Amino acid sequence: MKRKKLALLMTSTIAMLAAGEVHAQSSLTLYGVMDVFAGYQSANVGGKSTSLYVLGNNGELTSRWGLRGSEDMGGGYRTTFDLENGFDPGTGKQQNPYRFFDRQAWVGVAAPYGEFRFGRQNSPMFAWSGNLDAFGAATYGSGFNNFANWQARVDNDISYISPRLFGTQLEAHYSVGGQPGSLAGNAVYQIGVQSTQGPVYLAAAYLNAANATNSFRVQEIMAGGNVDYGWGRIYLGWFRANDVISATTGNALANPAGKYDPATGPVGNTPGDYHTTWSLSADYRFSPFLSVGAGYAYIKDSSSLGNDASQMSAIVNYDLSKTTRLYGVVSRLNNDKGAQYKMAGASITTGTFLTPDRGQNETGVQIGLRHLF
C-alpha cells in the first residue's frame, strides 16, 4: 500500500509539473471592447434642417471580441494568432455581414529576428493613426479620421514585423491579389516605420493598391507623431491619397483585397486627383484620470472641384477605472463647395449618423461609455 501511495503521489506530482510546464509555454487570451454613446447631430439633409438623437455604437473604439494566443516552440520561436470580430452592442449584430472575423484573422511565427504573419491583418496606418490624434482617430471629433480614408485592413496579407531596435520598428506587407498569371493584379503593398525617442513618437506608412489588371493604382501615405510635454501631448497628423471617402470626385478605394463586400470592385480612382489632410491637436491631463483635448483638421482637394473641408472639436475623457472610461465630444465640421464629409466616429452603424447635403455644415455632440475586457 505504501508503494502504491508513493507511486500515485509521484505520478500526480509529475502530472502537475507537466501541466504547469504546458501552461507556461502556451497562452490564450479572450479580450474585447464595449463602446456605446448618446449622440446628437445637426445638418441640412435633403434641403431642410435635420436633427438626429441616437443611442449609437462604437464612438471612441469599435466594439469587438477576440482570441489571441501564442505557443513557445523553444529557441526563441513562437507561433502566434489573432481572431477578432466586430459587433454593435445595441443590437448584437456583426459589424460586417460578409465575414465573421472581419477585423483580424491571422496566424504567425515569431522569432528573435522578427515576426511573420499570414491572413487578414490591420494596416500600419490603421494601427498607428490613433497616435497622431488627440481623439484617437475616432469619435465625432476626429477630423483626421473623418477626412482621411486610410485602408484599415487587408485580406490574404503576408507581413514581416521587425524587433524594436533603438525604439524603432519596421513593418512590410504584401497582399496576394489572387489573379492568375499575375503577382501585381489586385495586390496591396505596404511599408511603415514607427519610432519612440524619449518623449517623441514618430510614424510613417505607405500603401499601394492595384486593380485587377494592374492598370492603375491607389496610393496612400501617412506621417506624423506626438510629443509628451509633461502634462499631455501635442499631436500632428498628415495624410495624402488619390482616393476619398466623401464621394465628391469619383475617387474611391472601394475594396482592396476584400475590405467590404467581396462583390465590390477592388480599386478605383481618378488619376491626378489627390486629397491631403492635415491635423493638429493636443490634450492636457488634469490628473491620471481626467484629460481634455482639442483639435483642428483640414482637407484640401487638389482637383478642379475644390471640395475642401475643415473641422474643430473638443473632447473630455474621465477614467472611472483602468478599463472603463466616460468621454464627451463636441464638434463642428464645415464643408466647402460640393464637399460632403460627415462625422463617422470609430465605426458607427449606418442609420446612426447624418450625411449633410453637399457644401453643408454639421454639428455633433457625443457622451459615451467605453469598457475594455
Instruction: Identify whether 353 is part of a domain.
Output: no
Instruction: Identify whether 110 is part of a domain.
Output: yes
Instruction: Identify whether 336 is part of a domain.
Output: no
Instruction: Identify whether 350 is part of a domain.
Output: no
Domain hosting 304: range is: 59-314
HSE (side-chain half, CA atoms, 13 Å) at 268: 10
**pLDDT given at position 217:** 78
**pLDDT given at position 270:** 60
DSSP assignment of 117-168, as one string?
A: EEEEEE-HHHHHHGGG-TTTT-STT-HHHHH-----EEEEEEEEEPPPBTTE
Pair 237, 277: CB distance under 8 Å: yes
Pair 218, 256: CB distance under 8 Å: yes
**pLDDT given at position 6:** 46
**pLDDT given at position 222:** 97
Extended strands (E) in the chain: 26-45, 48-57, 64-74, 77-86, 104-111, 114-122, 153-161, 168-175, 188-197, 200-210, 217-228, 233-241, 275-285, 290-301, 309-319, 324-335, 362-372
Instruction: Identify whether 144 is part of a domain.
Output: yes
Pair 278, 237: CB distance under 8 Å: yes
In one letter, which amino acid is 191? I
State the maximum Cα–Cα separation within the chain, in Å, rounded to a whole number: 94
Instruction: Identify whether 348 is part of a domain.
Output: no
Instruction: Identify whether 338 is part of a domain.
Output: no
Q: What is the CATH number of the domain that holds 121?
A: 2.40.160.10
d(CA 151, CA 242): 12
Region of residue 230 (phi > 0: left; psi between -120 and 50: alpha; otherwise: beta): left
Give me Rg for the CA atoms of the chain. Answer: 23
Pair 55, 36: CB distance under 8 Å: yes
Helix (H, G, I), strand (E, B) or coil at 41: strand
Q: Which of 208, 201, 200, 204 is nearest to 192 (CA)?
A: 204
List the grid coordinates of 153: 485592413
**pLDDT given at position 315:** 98
Instruction: Identify whether 236 is part of a domain.
Output: yes
d(CA 226, CA 232): 10
The single residue listed with the C-alpha cell 443590437 is 91
Per-position pLDDT tens, the chain of length 373: 555 554 444 445 444 444 444 444 889 999 999 999 999 999 999 999 999 999 999 999 999 999 999 999 999 999 999 999 999 998 898 888 778 998 999 999 999 999 999 999 999 999 999 999 999 999 999 999 999 878 888 889 999 999 999 999 999 999 988 777 778 878 889 999 999 999 999 999 999 988 777 777 788 999 999 999 999 999 999 999 886 544 444 434 444 333 433 344 445 556 567 889 999 999 999 999 999 999 999 999 888 888 899 999 999 999 999 999 999 999 999 999 989 899 987 877 766 789 899 999 999 999 999 999 9
Number of domains in the chain: 1
Say what the pTM is.
0.87
Pair 338, 307: CB distance under 8 Å: yes
DSSP class of residue 19 equals: H
d(CA 191, CA 177): 17
